[in-house]
Structure 1
């Protein structure tokens, strides 16, 4: 694992693509925070050798899919070498048919980075000049306009990005759409003429699927740890007992994520006056409090399994065909490495895992604002009736949870045949990963609402002090969100805390006190 894995992505300014896949933090540094990309000599050597082999195949007019044949059901149509460049232009133009609004900037950048990682493995035959232009788009912050709807697995979004490399398509420039050729010129860049196999390689594979999945996974892992913080603060504010977190209890169930979560809660609440005073207040708490280790732990396990699978995919070549080097020559191998089933299935699993984190967080948030459960002023306002307090933010959390439930239906169990039956099952992995990305952001809002309520609830405990870790999170929240004494416009409050979750600020504040939380 790269040494930068321990650094926060926003602190990573340069990422060198070498002989292995990049770390998660490196990936997020480029996609989200604009780190610059460069290539190692080993990377360049692999790419140049692979290109040499493709050109050899073309010169000898070997029958290889997408090089000397048409695409999809047109595989039976033989293409002459003199039409190789035209074939590649045509695949990009004809496949740029996704529709709707553009994908978010970080998703577009993540897809471009995945192109560099996948095509740089040395099996795709794309020229180094083409990959350098993609890196230049990233480094010069040139943002292709990439409609995000209508893909069954990949192809469409990637083709819109490839158009810009050709000096075609559209680019988002300071909120305006401008022609790709004009955008390249403004950045001091020149378009390329795609050669043999390059159009196919740029549109094939799991790049846009992986882009969504990696961003969702990063958000999900960060939220899973933050959920422990939110759960601990809610437990503290609700006078919960720590009996359900006894390590002896968790030692008899063979799930290390469960035991790790229980340990996290104990570490976060260590030294709390509130918890100490109310340790015997109840014999047993409601599920949303005492089942934190089990429910959070199960979600973490699913996310960890997804992490292993998705990082394996990052280090893979999702192209078809590949040119496999054999000595000074190579052989064209054709199959289905573009298939996104691995990423799609685990993206569906991520959706379910994050939905479970969302549902327990929403229930804790409801308990915090409900006087019948909390023993605190109704809706956490000192003057209920005249003030609604946090009554309606709970509605927002419930609404978001309803949306997450719908989005958690697995996409990869479905299929619609395409390309005249040549592509008879399709993965819908693109939809699965896109859903996971959407859910990951909705989960952050639900956690933000819980943390907002938990901070307010702690204020009703008078002189009793929360734990140092809870106080660290509380102080960070209060730096942006003041105590609620009467009703106000709560939207900025929710957005502020959500941003603190998204940027990892709350997690870092707590880990600065207790050390790294287990995942």
Structure 2
């Protein structure tokens, strides 16, 4: 068994990859001495506030519209407990474990800014939930920002509610007892700290970034296969032409397509058969590239939020000289807008894929057998899978409507502008799931189209992609149950290892490189120090470069 990766929160900023490593891959999360010192300093300020009787929101006052109600003595601890119990009122199906774990990880990162005032034992308890795989059951619906989702995590620390533990759903108290743990006793401000801030939408968005990045790489592969099967005119991807419109993502996609299609006899023999292709075929660099650029923007926004202090109030200074500041850092507008924008960008990946796959099954424009099957008529072939793709595409158009503009008023006019950031992040995940299925269908259809072109050599990358699918899904000679084939194709698109196999077949690739963490730093201007080697390696594996073996030519976003 390989050793468990460890992510240490220290002085440097963390990345979305660190959250994914913890949430999805089970990496162990720990805090450096300096991180603990920041937490302890803020908590000492809370103790000073309590001792002095100074009024501070959420420390010794009610919450929201009750902010002018003063509290004293044992009421402060009771407020923390009551805050979790009263706010844990979500509805709907529970979040997947990895999503809840991402939220907890992002929350801990937030607390290590040392501006919240949470007691050390509460942070230790959250770390224990992560590292011992005790995952609160969090209803997916009910937050206009984050409160109900965060409260359902918080009540697990009290031994209330249900958790996922060792493959079973059980009462939180039972899981804590199995690990020899006791429920946490909360102090002043602990309850507010546990429900406040943007870790919910931020943690969810970190997972979405991982899925979106992988999907954009696969989209280039699958799009290249359709382009080849439809015998596209390669001049549209000419390097000099692409360079005349210097959007960074477009340059990457153009380079990827040329590399994946390198050596294709199909395209060489098809040169000049038409003046130009339909836009869904010749605009792959422009459309896929725009999605990549929006992904880069969303990543910056979300990582800034991940490394921010997003509680209210925030505690500045030291116990000897401090300030307590009520403000609006918990407002998640930046993350909500980023998630909404990324949902639009990913929906467009699915939209153009649906247009390409429709052309593959139409003999009028493809020059291939109708619906990509021998003996059409007795066989319906790939007719209805295009309906499925169209349905998913239509659903994505609905989901791409911004959440952030759909605003409400809560808490007696005290909270009268809301981000809807958690809703934005959750619907982004649905858009990603749908786009994956659309591309999985296109992958199936492009591979089936290759069966009618096997007398000619395919591109170096597209040939590998075709053969990888054929290892899981045989070619179609007659109608058969298609749903399992779509599922198998979608599972391939979730594999980073197979993605690298495709790109490593190419000599000049913009999407994949493992030359080192330096490439990841050059890509986004960040520093990979203070993070685990494994996480840095993961980041580097998807850093953009135009030469897989040589000196990287990376791009920077402004």
CA shift, 1:434, in A, is 1.1
Provide the rounded CA distance (Å) in 2 between the counterparts of 1:202 and 1:327: 22
CA shift, 1:460, in A, is 0.9
Match of 1:3 in 2: none
In the superposition, the TM-score normalised over structure 2's length comes to 0.88
User: CA offsets per residue over residues 6-37 of structure 1, 9 Å max, x none?
Assistant: xxxx9972222222332222221111122221
1:315 to 288, 307, 319: 307
Provide the rounded CA distance (Å) in 1 between the counterparts of 2:312 and 2:125: 22
User: CA offsets per residue over residues 337-358 of structure 1, 9 Å max, x none?
Assistant: 0001000011111111111111
2:326 to 334, 356, 365: 334
Which runs of 5 or more structure 2 residues have no equivalent in the other structure? Answer: 512-543, 545-554
Find the residue that maps to 1:317 and give its secondary structure: coil
CA contact (8 A) 1:226 1:506 kept: no
Match of 2:204 in 1: 212
Q: Where does 1:59-74 land on structure 2 (aligned, <5 Å)?
A: 59-74=51-66
CA shift, 1:124, in A, is 0.8
Find the residue that maps to 2:308 and give its secondary structure: coil
Match of 1:405 in 2: 397
Provide the rounded CA distance (Å) in 2 between the counterparts of 1:12 and 1:440: 28
Match of 2:353 in 1: 361
Which runs of 5 or more structure 1 residues have no equivalent in the other structure? Answer: 1-9
Match of 2:117 in 1: 125
Deviates further, 347-356 or 501-510: 501-510
Deviates further, 355-364 or 204-213: 204-213
1:298 to 283, 286, 290: 290
Task: Report the CA distance shift for 1:505/1:364 in structure 2 as closer, same or farther (over 3 A).
Answer: farther
User: CA offsets per residue over residues 248-281 of structure 1, 9 Å max, x none?
Assistant: 2222223222222111110111111212211222
Task: Report the CA distance shift for 1:344/1:439 in structure 2 as closer, same or farther (over 3 A).
Answer: same
CA shift, 1:361, in A, is 0.5
Number of residue pairs aligned between Structure 1 and Structure 2: 510
Task: Report the CA distance shift for 1:200/1:12 in structure 2 as closer, same or farther (over 3 A).
Answer: same
CA shift, 1:507, in A, is 2.1
Deviates further, 322-331 or 430-439: 322-331
Match of 1:81 in 2: 73
Provide the rounded CA distance (Å) in 2 between the counterparts of 1:353 and 1:400: 15
2:226 to 234, 237, 243: 234
2:493 to 471, 494, 501: 501
Match of 2:154 in 1: 162
Q: Where does 1:178-327 land on structure 2 (aligned, <5 Å)?
A: 178-326=170-318
Task: Report the CA distance shift for 1:506/1:378 in structure 2 as closer, same or farther (over 3 A).
Answer: farther
CA shift, 1:236, in A, is 0.7
Find the residue that maps to 1:482 and give its secondary structure: coil
Match of 2:430 in 1: 438
Deviates further, 84-93 or 371-380: 371-380
CA contact (8 A) 2:206 2:302 kept: yes
2:479 to 487, 490, 496: 487
User: CA offsets per residue over residues 163-197 of structure 1, 9 Å max, x none?
Assistant: 00011111134665422111111233221111111
Provide the rounded CA distance (Å) in 1 between the counterparts of 2:491 and 2:9: 30
Q: Aligned pair 1:455/2:455, yes or no?
A: no
Provide the rounded CA distance (Å) in 2 between the counterparts of 1:389 and 1:11: 47
Task: Report the CA distance shift for 1:495/1:150 in structure 2 as closer, same or farther (over 3 A).
Answer: same
CA contact (8 A) 1:324 1:331 kept: yes
Find the residue that maps to 1:172 and give its secondary structure: strand
1:385 to 367, 377, 400: 377
CA contact (8 A) 2:4 2:28 kept: no
